[in-house]
Structure 1
Amino acid sequence: MKFKRVVVTGLGALTPIGNNLQEYWDGLQNGVSGAAPITHFDASKFKTQFACEVKNFNVTDFIDRKEARRLDKFAQYAMVASDEAIEDSKLDLEKIDMDRIGVIWGAGIGGLETFQEEVLNYGNGDGTPRFNPFFIPKMIADIAPGLISIKHGFRGPNFTTVSACASSANAMIDALNYIRLGHADIIVTGGSEAAVTAAGIGGFNAMHALSTRNDDPKTASRPFDANRDGFVLGEGAGAMILEDYDHAVARGAKIYCEIAGGGLSADAHHMTAPHPEGLGAKNVMMNCLKDAGLNPEDVDHINMHGTSTPLGDVAESKAIKEVFGDHTYNININSTKSMTGHLLGAAGAIEAISSIMAIVHGVVPPTINHETYDEKIDPKMNFTFNKAQKRDVKVAMSNTFGFGGHNACVLFKKLD
């Protein structure tokens, strides 16, 4: 069976460093840190008192006030980012078969704020169950693609992938394969997350996963730096339109790039820690290259998972050297989490968008906040430290890994 080629024809972003695609890309190129003291709740008693929040966002600029109240923040973000991607794609929904358009979305947690509020309201009461009738629909992780399809009338495949921080990368790979196999012509895909809540910060603090650099939040996310102390929690959404190449050409669509392949693997090692030798990371990159029909030396740029955790950055760096050998030193590597923080289930989506924009513009965004080399990480690897670098990027790889040992890798390439 001959697989269909799949291309990217629309992008949308709502992030801690920009509330649309252009703002996001500007923030990435300029090395902007999205970390700041938390404003969503009083975090004064928490070990970590900062995060990468979406800023200057007024949901009623995009969604009717009454409707917005029925949506958890993660779903609001999904609606806004997907609307931008659909508009960017210039799809004429009057002329397209709506049975052939799907929505496959990623969310690692879903409506955490809604869950927290409803349980606290019940716990602070007299025991009488008084729950909001929208509690369950607001909370469930699969509601985002449902809402997107309801708004636009998309009747194709519709579901959410949940694989912790790999969720939106899994969604993109599923979307790629559904189109490859001919089950859809177009799929809206990506991910959203809104876990900057008391439960989110408190839970990750209890795991000792977050940076506690409260005296200098802007530099707290520092992947590969010897003094990194954990990740910075972020929030937001990223969306893209994946489309059958022939369908896109027939309608005269703008094409950003081709999505060449996707890989999956499991660490089979630990609930939260990566395999120390990066075994799962190595396998997922090799699987992705094989799926795309590309060789290691074809890759120009890797957007690493690079969370700024002591174990994760070392394991992933080892894995890259295992896969790419001497070519490792020819690759522009970065971690955009140094700027956006870690968007959990939405991380794969916004990092894929960064990879795509690197191909389109010939610029690799920096890994900011690096000050001190870690002796466990090869100093000859080009992590694009602190300043963006111009580079003709023909092939870009994006890595995303999640708690539970879930690994996903996506490859994008310039259209031949």
Structure 2
Amino acid sequence: MSDIVISGLGLVTPFGRGVEPYWQGLLGGRSALRAARRFTAPLYRGEPVGEVPWEPVPGDAPRKSAYARAAFGEALRAAGLAELPDGAVVLVVGQAQAQARPQARDRFRAQDPDGRPVAEEGEFLGPEPADVLGSGAGSASPRVLHLSHACASAVFAVGYARELLRAGAAPLAVVVGSSVLNRYEYASMDVVRAVGRTAARPFDAGRAGISLGEGGGALVLEDAERARARGASADIAVAGAACRVSGFKSAASDAGQVARCMRDALADAAVDRLDHVHAHATGTGQGDAAELTALEAVAAERGAPALPVSSHKGAIGHLLHISGAPAIAAAALTLRTGIAPPTAGLLAPEPTERLVLPTAPLELAGARTAAVNSFGFGGNNASLVLLRR
């Protein structure tokens, strides 16, 4: 069986539209986290957040749909596609589907005790598929599925897409989603004391919590031979995946479950090396400590004396359900360029034995494999292994 590859990537982040501004921001060690210009919430205290710096055209789709549509369009163009082929599957990831059960949606909005909507139209609620696809659907009628696995949703969707493609159930799959800063999701993170009052500093000894961000992401997945026949990129394969709903603690603070998920993904990939990890690392005390413990264990088992580990969340914040998209993009570009980006905000790295936590771009000569970790509430654990052919 031919590899399932990532033939197209698209992003909207607090660095702006496109994969390239995001990648250059990561390589430069820059942070786009600032006090909000647009976002307001009753509990918001002025801490740094990652806001997208551009606004959709007035009268266009809501911002959440617009961010997803922009990422979707970039991913299609990167894959050399003018539109989706017949039979394609679109996996929309997010908290809730906007067009589903409109009566329940209206009741949800009416629950604010002050008579205000809990979120602006299209912010907490998921993007409408029609708004996301735009002209990219062409004359095709793609099957649209909705997945929600907390902050691991995007990586779960990539694993699911890989299985669909390997089974011959679709010629091509697109994973797409977006997040927009809103009072409901902000409150849900604040109530569990996850939000930091300063910018997120993943893996830093002085880390104090997450910074929320917003944006959109999209990935085109297909059989390598199909991509090559069209002249599209086919060098980054999704070699292994492990998606688990398990654990008696929050997934991000259960070192045993994190390590198990990584082991399963590496076993699925059948690779004999691990050159880089793009970590979940949100900047919380418990979560980062658990992931470091798991990474140390996996590195020791594989005899890796100096395993480079990066995170993007100190640069753009935590994009919640779609956070796996910038993580996968960073891992893919690390393999393509041979450079691991630093982790923005990392000033005093936690002591490690077998891990390297770069504070400046790190050259990785000959790097071929990278793992991507993504964990969420409810015991949602997901790891991918990417392989550069």
The equivalent residue for 1:284 is 261
**Counterpart contact for 2:97–2:126, Cα < 8 Å:** yes
User: Over residues 305-354 of structure 1, what are the superposed CA-to-partner deviations in whole Å (9 max), with x where a residue is unaligned?
Assistant: 01110001111111112222163433211111121111111111111000
- State the partner residue of 1:360: 336
Q: Which amino acid aligns with 1:105?
A: V
Aligned residue pairs total 381
Opposite residue 321 of structure 2, the aligned amino acid is G
Asked whether the equivalents of residues 105 and 145 of structure 1 are also in contact (C-alpha less than 8 Å), the reply is no
Cα RMSD, aligned residues only? 3.0
Q: Name 2:178's counterpart in structure 1.
A: 192
User: Is 2:83 aligned against 1:106?
Assistant: no
2:193 and 2:312 map into 1 onto residues whose CA distance is: 22
Q: Among the aligned pairs, what percent are the same residue? A: 27
Q: Distance in 2 between matches of 1:41 and 1:117?
A: 23
> TM-score under structure 1 normalisation?
0.83
Is 1:80 aligned with 2:70? yes
Matches within 5 A, 1:91-102: 91-93=81-83, 98-102=85-89
Task: Specify every segment of 5 or more residues in structure 2 that has no aligned partner in the other structure, as ranges.
Answer: none
Is residue 334 from structure 1 mapped to residue 321 from structure 2 by the alignment?
no
Aligned to 1:217: none
Residue 229 (structure 1) aligns with: 208
SS in 2 for 1:158: strand
Distance in 2, Cα, partners of 1:256 & 1:24: 20
Aligned 8 A contact 2:12 2:216 in 1: yes
Residue pairs, 1:22-61, within 5 angstroms: 22-42=20-40, 46-47=44-45, 49-55=47-53, 57-60=54-57
* Secondary structure of the corresponding residue to residue 91 of structure 1: coil
Counterpart pick for 2:369 among 391, 395, 401: 395
Give the corresponding residue for 1:159: 145
| 2:241 matches 1:241 | no
8 Å Cα contact 1:261/1:289 also seen in 2: yes
2:4 matched residue in structure 1: 6
Where 1:178 maps in the other structure, the secondary structure is helix
What's the CA shift for 1:121?
9.5
CA gap of 1:287–1:273, structure 2 versus 1, over 3 A, is closer
Partner of 1:410: 384
Amino acid at match of 1:174: Y
8 Å CA contact 1:142–1:159 kept in 2: the answer is no
Note the residue ranges of structure 1 that are not aligned, 5 or more in a row: 214-219
**Deviation of the 1:412 alpha carbon:** 1.1
- What is the alpha-carbon distance in structure 2 between the residues aligned to residue 75 and residue 309 of structure 1? 29
1:371 counterpart letter in structure 2: L
Residue among 177, 194, 202 paired with 2:163: 177
3-state SS, counterpart of residue 372 of structure 1: coil
Query: Any idea what SS the aligned residue of 2:59 has?
Result: helix
SS in 2 for 1:59: coil
Q: Given the alignment, which residue of 47, 59, 62 partners 1:66?
A: 59
Alignment-derived partner of residue 119 in structure 1: 109
- Describe the shift of the 1:261–1:83 C-alpha distance in structure 2 as closer, same or farther (beyond 3 A): same
Distance 1:117 1:22, change over 3 A: farther
Residue in structure 2 matched with residue 216 of structure 1 by the alignment: none
